[in-house]
Chain A
Amino acid sequence: MRKIAVVVAIIFQVAVLGFMAGGREYIVHNGRTVYLRTAPVDPRDVFRGDYVALSYEISSIEDNLLRDELKKGVAWHDRGLPVYVVLTETDGVAQVSYASDRRPDGGLFIRGRLGGPRFPGIWVKYGIESFYVEQGAGKKLEQLFPKRGEKSRLEMEVKIGSGGEAVLIGYRVRR
């Protein structure tokens, strides 16, 4: 009995890590690739080393692009609610078509969580706001921070699964 319990405990730990890695790996292989324009922000994580914090264009969604319950307005206590953002590709970069709290039946969409109200509109987190790099390599990306009035040249390569889950896999710099 003890032996079975020990094996089950070990399997549980391996399964949690397997679920984390396997789920992402499936999306990396089977998901649809899109590029999202972003701007690098900053710094370092205690456990995970250097990373570049990213702020996407699609993170901030204006009022006129909201649908369903989101259109009625959101408050700070609604943070964490699922948000589905339908995307259209223009010039090789994904843009927001509209955002809703209801999952679309099909098409290209990304799932995020409500970060809070932003006037006018909302702010959404997709779980891909950190790009981890080898220690010391973050500076190169931070140099791509756009100057005032300039459009960011950094575009992150993201794989999106059928349920809208996003996995960040790389980046490109537009010339």
Chain B
Amino acid sequence: MKKQIRWLHGEIEQWMAEGLITLGQAEGIRARYRQPEGGTPWATIIFSSLGAAILGLGIVLMFAYNWNAIPKFGKLGIVFGLLLLAHGGGAWLFLRGGRYRGVGEALCLLGTVLYGSGIWLIAQIYHIDTHYPNGFLAWALGALAAAWALASIPQAIAALALLSIWSATETVMFERFIHLGPVMIAALVAPLAWWKRSRLLMAAATVGLVFSACVGAAAAHEGTHLILVCLLSLGGLLLALAQLAPSIPSLAPFSRIWDRSGWIAFFSALYLLTFPGLIDEVLPLGLSKHGLAALSWLVPLAAAFLVWTIVVLGMTRFDRRLSFDLYLVPLVLVVTLLLLFFRTGDWLATPFNLAFLTLAISLMMRGCRQPNARLTIVGSVLLVMLATARYMDLFDSLIARGAVFILVGAMIFGQGLLYTRRKRAAGTGFGAGVQEVSR
């Protein structure tokens, strides 16, 4: 919004010079769209946070030398002293407010880095060699406490990174299926992003949640079997949230984030599910044998169905319409669920291929209709990806392969012509071509 206001103020000068508006009108517009004052001091926060993180790392590495000359209580004194100094000073500056608030926040971040290093240094002092991911969990909880107390985005991002590392180390190093990683991100980080209306934190929380849920799903069942179903379900859930968000003012700023991340997750999973060889690996055992591991996809899938139901009911009630491609999302989720129950035959990849093809064509058509260059490009790329993927494993003869590529090429060519015609008819007014993928 700030960018648009800056642009508008620049334009007003030009319009006045060209005699399009009078001085009074210009003042009226300026009064209506005031230049934002102050705002979040991002530069201070970013540079102070980076400095704090690097300084903290330096202190950790210096103490890792483990000087024999420093007695045990001397080392403990340094650990606790630095922690209290950083947090005490940071909290004092932060609570005083004013121009040093950002520096106070950065000092508290340094405190959290020192707290984390303290966990490792105390482990060093007492030769503790227990389950080390617990160290990351304790560190993340400390960062989360500070994030909520200070309403601090950098602390929350640190907590998010630590929760993701915790999930990944439990999964990769210890083959433990952790459900709590994504649950903690959803319950403790995302609400802070909502409270602060921070798109940056919500985007980071969304990526962190998808990452930790997927690594959990990877560990869940002998390798990577459940990742794709988990990713597809999460994509479906995010797309449902993206449709619901505009109806709820406090969630509206996050609609675009969930839309983008939802499509990326959904298309990535759907594309991989179109491979007949891969799908046998993905759905090898049927629902009954997944056991507790089924929670990795069952929870996001159930949540997706719930939110989609609310979205569809809301659309009917308020007489709003979704685009055709969005209706395909819950449909694909239903088909996936049915396949997990009743998996027979060699045709498992067929519904996913059809869904992918329909979605690609639907995006191309919607891109031409609106007209929206981004949608047409995305649709075309998806279509080419599908044709390329099926080149080897679906068609036996060169004639069939050639025919498919001629058809795809003709469709893209035709789309180009249609898009150009529609674009000319619609004109190139302000805002053309910037509509969202899902709206």
Question: Chain A residues in contact with chain B, CB under 8 A?
Answer: 2-3, 5-10, 12-14, 16-18, 20-21, 24, 45, 47-51, 80, 113, 125, 127-135, 137, 167-169
The 8 Å CB contact of B149, one of A5, A24, A80, is A5
User: Is B344's CB within 8 Å of the partner chain A?
Assistant: no
Whether B60 and A9, one on each chain, are in contact in the complex, defined by CB atoms closer than 8 angstroms, is no
Give B223 Cβ to nearest chain A Cβ, in Å. Answer: 16
Q: Given A2-B95, A50-B66, does the pair A12, B145 have CB atoms closer than 8 Å? A: yes
The 8 Å CB contact of B145, one of A8, A51, A131, A134, is A8
Offer 10 A-B interface pairs, CB within 8 angstroms, sorted by A.
A5-B148, A9-B150, A10-B111, A13-B87, A13-B112, A13-B142, A80-B131, A128-B129, A131-B127, A135-B64
Q: Please report the C-alpha to C-alpha distance between residue A48 and residue B149 in the assembled complex, in whole angstroms.
A: 30
Q: Please report the C-alpha to C-alpha distance between residue A3 and residue B159 in the assembled complex, in whole angstroms.
A: 21
Whether A47 and B67, one on each chain, are in contact in the complex, defined by CB atoms closer than 8 angstroms, is no
Of B22-30, B33-41, B77-85, B211-219, which stretch is located at the interface? Answer: B77-85
Whether B65 and A10, one on each chain, are in contact in the complex, defined by CB atoms closer than 8 angstroms, is no
Chain B residues closer than 8 Å to A6, beta-carbon distance:
91, 94-95, 149-150
Question: Chain B residues in contact with chain A, CB under 8 A?
Answer: 60, 64-68, 76, 79-80, 83-84, 87-88, 91, 94-95, 111-112, 115, 117-131, 138, 141-142, 145-146, 148-150
Give A13 Cβ to nearest chain B Cβ, in Å. Answer: 4
The 8 Å CB contact of A135, one of B66, B76, B95, B120, is B66
Whether A21 and B66, one on each chain, are in contact in the complex, defined by CB atoms closer than 8 angstroms, is no
Whether A128 and B145, one on each chain, are in contact in the complex, defined by CB atoms closer than 8 angstroms, is no
Q: Given A13-B145, A17-B115, A17-B122, does the pair A49, B127 have CB atoms closer than 8 Å? A: no
Whether B138 and A16, one on each chain, are in contact in the complex, defined by CB atoms closer than 8 angstroms, is yes
Chain A residues closer than 8 Å to B121, beta-carbon distance:
48
- A-B pair number, CB within 8 angstroms: 112
Q: Given A13-B112, A127-B128, does the pair A135, B65 have CB atoms closer than 8 Å? A: yes
Whether B111 and A13, one on each chain, are in contact in the complex, defined by CB atoms closer than 8 angstroms, is yes
Max chain B CB contacts within 10 Å: which of A8, A49, A131, A167? A49
Whether B142 and A128, one on each chain, are in contact in the complex, defined by CB atoms closer than 8 angstroms, is no
Whether A13 and B83, one on each chain, are in contact in the complex, defined by CB atoms closer than 8 angstroms, is yes
Q: Please report the C-alpha to C-alpha distance between residue A24 and residue B68 in the assembled complex, in whole angstroms.
A: 19
Whether B145 and A17, one on each chain, are in contact in the complex, defined by CB atoms closer than 8 angstroms, is no
Q: Which 8 A-B pairs have the closest CB atoms?
A: A49-B64, A9-B149, A5-B149, A168-B127, A130-B129, A9-B145, A127-B130, A48-B124
Give B89 Cβ to nearest chain A Cβ, in Å. Answer: 11
Chain A residues closer than 8 Å to B123, beta-carbon distance:
20, 48
The 8 Å CB contact of B65, one of A5, A8, A13, A49, is A49
Give B318 Cβ to nearest chain A Cβ, in Å. Answer: 38
Chain B residues closer than 8 Å to A47, beta-carbon distance:
60, 64, 117, 120
Chain B residues closer than 8 Å to A7, beta-carbon distance:
91
Whether A10 and B80, one on each chain, are in contact in the complex, defined by CB atoms closer than 8 angstroms, is no
Max chain B CB contacts within 10 Å: which of A9, A48, A50? A9
Q: Please report the C-alpha to C-alpha distance between residue A47 and residue B59 in the assembled complex, in whole angstroms.
A: 10
Chain A residues closer than 8 Å to B88, beta-carbon distance:
10
Whether B149 and A8, one on each chain, are in contact in the complex, defined by CB atoms closer than 8 angstroms, is yes
Whether B120 and A48, one on each chain, are in contact in the complex, defined by CB atoms closer than 8 angstroms, is yes
Whether B126 and A21, one on each chain, are in contact in the complex, defined by CB atoms closer than 8 angstroms, is yes
- Which residue of the partner chain B has the closest CB to A25? B126
Q: Given A47-B64, A50-B66, A128-B129, does the pair A16, B124 have CB atoms closer than 8 Å? A: no
Q: Please report the C-alpha to C-alpha distance between residue A174 and residue B123 in the assembled complex, in whole angstroms.
A: 27
- Which residue of the partner chain B has the closest CB to A27? B126
The 8 Å CB contact of B83, one of A2, A17, A167, is A17
Whether B130 and A3, one on each chain, are in contact in the complex, defined by CB atoms closer than 8 angstroms, is no
- Which residue of the partner chain B has the closest CB to A133? B66
Q: Given A8-B149, A16-B142, does the pair A24, B128 have CB atoms closer than 8 Å? A: yes
Chain A residues closer than 8 Å to B129, beta-carbon distance:
125, 127-130
Whether A13 and B66, one on each chain, are in contact in the complex, defined by CB atoms closer than 8 angstroms, is no
Q: Please report the C-alpha to C-alpha distance between residue A18 and residue B80 in the assembled complex, in whole angstroms.
A: 9
Whether A128 and B127, one on each chain, are in contact in the complex, defined by CB atoms closer than 8 angstroms, is yes
- Which residue of the partner chain B has the closest CB to A7? B91
Q: Please report the C-alpha to C-alpha distance between residue A128 and residue B117 in the assembled complex, in whole angstroms.
A: 20
Whether B124 and A49, one on each chain, are in contact in the complex, defined by CB atoms closer than 8 angstroms, is yes
Whether B68 and A137, one on each chain, are in contact in the complex, defined by CB atoms closer than 8 angstroms, is yes
Q: Given A17-B115, A135-B65, does the pair A10, B91 have CB atoms closer than 8 Å? A: yes
Give A26 Cβ to nearest chain B Cβ, in Å. Answer: 11
The 8 Å CB contact of B119, one of A17, A113, A131, is A17
Whether B146 and A13, one on each chain, are in contact in the complex, defined by CB atoms closer than 8 angstroms, is yes
- Which residue of the partner chain A has the closest CB to B118? A17
Give B67 Cβ to nearest chain A Cβ, in Å. Answer: 6
Q: Please report the C-alpha to C-alpha distance between residue A6 and residue B91 in the assembled complex, in whole angstroms.
A: 7
Q: Please report the C-alpha to C-alpha distance between residue A110 and residue B302 in the assembled complex, in whole angstroms.
A: 45
- Which residue of the partner chain B has the closest CB to A77? B175
Chain B residues closer than 8 Å to A17, beta-carbon distance:
79-80, 83, 115, 118-119, 122
Whether A3 and B122, one on each chain, are in contact in the complex, defined by CB atoms closer than 8 angstroms, is no
Whether A14 and B127, one on each chain, are in contact in the complex, defined by CB atoms closer than 8 angstroms, is no
Chain A residues closer than 8 Å to B67, beta-carbon distance:
134
- Which residue of the partner chain A has the closest CB to B143? A13
Max chain A CB contacts within 10 Å: which of B127, B130, B142? B127
Give A8 Cβ to nearest chain B Cβ, in Å. Answer: 7
Not counting A14-B84, A17-B80, A24-B128, a sample of 18 additional A-B residue pairs whose C-beta atoms are within 8 angstroms of each other reads: A3-B95, A10-B91, A12-B141, A12-B145, A13-B112, A16-B119, A16-B138, A20-B119, A21-B126, A48-B121, A48-B123, A49-B65, A113-B131, A128-B129, A130-B127, A130-B129, A134-B65, A169-B127
